[in-house]
Structures are given as C-alpha cells and as structure tokens.
Amino acid sequence: MLQQTGVKMSSNPFATPVYDKQASMLNFNELNLSSTWGDRLSSGNDMIVALAASSKTEMSGTGKTTLGIQLCRKFDASPSPFDASEQATLSSEDVANELYPNLPERSAILFDEAQGTAQSDGIDNRRAMADAVVKMSRAAATYRYKQHPLIIIAQSTRWIDSRMMDIIDRLVLIQETDQDRGYGRAIVFDHYFDDLSDDKQEYTPAIEDIFWRPLPDDDPDYKALHEKKEAAGDPSSNNSDNGREKISKTEEQQIQDAQLFHDEFGVAWRKVGDYPGMEKSGEWYRQKIKDREDDGSDDE
C-alpha cells in the first residue's frame, strides 16, 4: 500500500511529511496542486477541479466528499474559513445563481453529487438540461475575477457534461481507501485540450499523489453535506463516503506501520507518531521494534 505508484510525485510524503492534523491532509503543502493554486491566486485566476473515484474502485464509500471538503478548506483564501453549510450544494442552479455571485471573493465552492440527485439533474452529460449546464459554465466564466476555487464531485468524470469538462483545470481520481491504515490515496491529473486538433484531443498527464485521512464523525462540514444529501433524497447519504468504516489500528498494525515508515520511507522516529492511526510516540514504536530485534538475536 505505502509504495511508489509509478506517478511522478512532488516529493515522497513519507520521507518529509507535512502533516496537518486539523485539516487531515498528509501532504498538501508539498503538492504541485497547492503551488499551482498559489500561482493562480497571484495572477488573478481561479481553479476548477473535478473529483471522482477511479473506475478501478467502488463508486460509493471511497471518500470523495471527505477529500472534497479538505481540498476546499485548503483552497479557500477568503477572510473566513470554509463552511459547507454556506459554500456547498448539490444543485448546479445554486452554484450558478447563488454561490458564484454572492460568496466573498476567493471563497471555495463545493458542488457535490454533480451527476445529479432525485431533485437535481446536476451536470450529468446523459441527463443534464442544456440550460443548467450553460448557466453554470457561464457563471464560472463571468465570475472568474472573484477567483472562486470550485470542486466538482461526481461518481465518474465521464458523467460530467463536456461543456463543463472544457473549463476543468485538474482531475483528481481516488485510487484506494486503506481502511486498515486509515488513509486514502488519489492521483492528480492535469487536464487540457489540443485547441488546434479537429477531434479536440484531451490530455490528462498524471502529476502526483494526494494522501488524506477520514474526518471525524462530528465534523461540521461533513455533517452539513450529509444533511443536504438527505434533504435532496440522495440514497448515498445512507452510505459512508468518508472512507472511515475501519480506521482504528491494532497495536500490532501500528508497530508494523511504524517500521515501514522508518525503514522504507526514512521517516524520523520522532515523526512516526504523527501519522493517522498511530496512537503512541515515535520513541515507543522504536523501543518496541528494538526489543523484538533483541529477542530475536537472543533466540539465535
């Protein structure tokens, strides 16, 4: 699980961890995604990110909502912190008519269940009303000067209308949610088109991995979105999309992970205890492993 994925990473998050326990992100500050957003803020631009589960994973329960919330918290550059009760919706009309024009500049917007719910057509390319998609894409263009980072969450990026895909800057596809170790992994892809080709060739080169951990059950933003889904009659609200069904680790799992962090990824012992699911200090794990090694040498 904790291994190089073949994807170019900005740096190995386990070798030089930047771990914000409050935000639950393991390596955000190291990401190209983070530095790119900083560059866009400096140049007066916005950013639109589509977040979905990889086709290799289950569509529900992979942690899309959890990761979307955490990205919004990191992206939000307004005077007030991200608040899902005010800045998240399951309706494309709300995004276009309420959030884009009325939120303060640089406020993050979270559009969840973009494939549609029982009460909203969303921006699903098979069911979306042309008017809804046009309004949302026009709002994104009209209010670009307000620099709202927009996170669009869908079951699959293939369900998003092509007119919205035209303005998406990054794709984030969840690859796995490791319940035993208590974290998820997604890959960030760049997203652009060949403007001169007749067939409008789409390019999605992989850039880096994102690692994150679940939010607690009482997280206010997660609860707010869950309530919005229930109100919209979304059956997925009955399933956990926090990737947190089994995040506690046994002591044995913690010791094994501690040795993996230290031996394979070069994490200093003093930082090993900072990772999710690790309940002891780094020195405690170091001593446990040393004692086992000593016992093994004595047996020989």
Tens-place pLDDT, residues 182-217: 778 899 999 988 877 777 788 899 999 888 888 887
Q: Above 60 in pLDDT, residue 93?
A: yes
Query: Residue 137: is it exposed, middle or buried by C-beta count within 10 angstroms (0-12/13-18/19+)?
Result: buried
CA distance 244 to 248: 9
- Beta strands 47-53 and 149-153 are parallel
Residue-averaged pLDDT of the chain: 78
One-letter amino acid of 294: D
Highest mean pLDDT out of 40-54, 112-126, 237-251, 271-285: 40-54
CA distance 245 to 225: 18
Long-range contacts of 34-41 (CB under 8 A, 24+ apart): 34/74, 36/170, 37/75, 37/149, 40/147, 41/77, 41/106, 41/147
Mean pLDDT within 236-264: 66
Q: Above 60 in pLDDT, residue 246?
A: no
pTM over 0.85: no
Tell me how crowded residue 4 is: count the other CB atoms within 10 A of its CB. Answer: 10
Q: Where are the alpha helices (DSSP H) in 233-279?
A: 251-265, 269-272
Return all residues near 172 (Cβ < 8 A) that are at least 6 apart: 49, 50, 51, 52, 67, 71, 186, 187, 188, 189, 210
Tell me, what's the pLDDT at 297? 55
CA distance 159 to 147: 25
Tell me, what's the pLDDT at 144? 92
Q: Which of 73-82, 134-143, 266-275 has the lowest mean pLDDT?
A: 266-275
Q: Identify whether the C-beta of residue 241 lies closer than 8 Å to the C-beta of residue 173.
A: no
Tell me, what's the pLDDT at 125? 45
Q: Above 80 in pLDDT, residue 57?
A: no
% residues pLDDT > 90 (the chain): 36
